[in-house]
Amino acid sequence: MNAPRQSKGPLSEINIIPLVDVMLVLLIIFMIAAPMMQQGLPINLPKVTTRPLPSKEDIQVLTVTKNEEIIVNTKRLELKDLKAVFFVLDFNGKPEHLDCHSTDTPMHGRTIEVTFQDGEKIVGRTEGFNPSRLGFFLFPFDLKANNIRIFVVTKNTRQVKFL
C-alpha cells in the first residue's frame, strides 16, 4: 500500500485531456465549415448608380457680405432681383414630379407658408424666421422633390404665415 503523499506545495500538473477534446471538436467544426466558405452564399446586392462629381463650371458660390450684398460667383445681384436661393439635387429638375404638401413626414421646426411678391407660394418648415433678418431657410415638406432647402429673402415676401 502506498503511503499518502504529503503535500509540501501546490500540485502543478495540468490535465490536458479536456484541452485535447476541445481542440478535436474545433478541428471537426472547421473541417465541416471550410468547404462552405469556399463556395460562398448567393447574395443579390442592389444596383447603385452615382452621378459624376460636378465640374468647376457647375459649382455655384453664393456670398452674402456684411453689407447684405449678394454675390453669385463673381456677379453682384440686387436684393430686389432675388426672391430665394434654391438648393437642389439636380439642375435639370424633375419635371414629372408633382409636389406633395403632406405634413405626415416627421420634420423639425415650425410649419410656414411663404407668399412671394409675384404670388408664388411655398409651404415647408423653418427653424429661424425673423422678419428683421435678411432671410431664412425653408425646408420643403416633399422629401422626394428636387429642392433640398430654400433660402428665402425676407424683403421679397408678400406674406409669411405660420400654419
Structural domain for 118, as ranges: 83-162
Using an 8 Å Cβ cutoff, are 160 and 112 in contact? yes
This prediction has a pTM of 0.53
Q: Over the stretch 16-40, which tens digit does the pLDDT of each residue have?
A: 888 899 999 999 999 988 877 776 6
pLDDT for 58 equals 66
Note whether residue 70 is domain-resident.
Answer: no
DSSP helix/strand/coil, 38: helix
Note whether residue 21 is domain-resident.
Answer: no
Note whether residue 38 is domain-resident.
Answer: no
> 10-residue block means of pLDDT along the chain (163 residues)?
62 82 94 77 79 69 76 77 78 61 62 88 84 84 77 87 84
Note whether residue 67 is domain-resident.
Answer: no
Report CA-CA distances (Å) from 138 to 44, 112, 152.
39, 8, 7
Note whether residue 155 is domain-resident.
Answer: yes
- What CATH number is given to the structural domain containing 104? 2.30.30.100
Note whether residue 22 is domain-resident.
Answer: no
Cell triple for 139: 425646408
- Angle, vertex CA 28, rays to CA 23 and CA 32, nearest 5: 145
Domain count, the chain: 1
Note whether residue 148 is domain-resident.
Answer: yes
Note whether residue 15 is domain-resident.
Answer: no
**Closest to 72 measured CA to CA, from 81, 82, 61:** 61
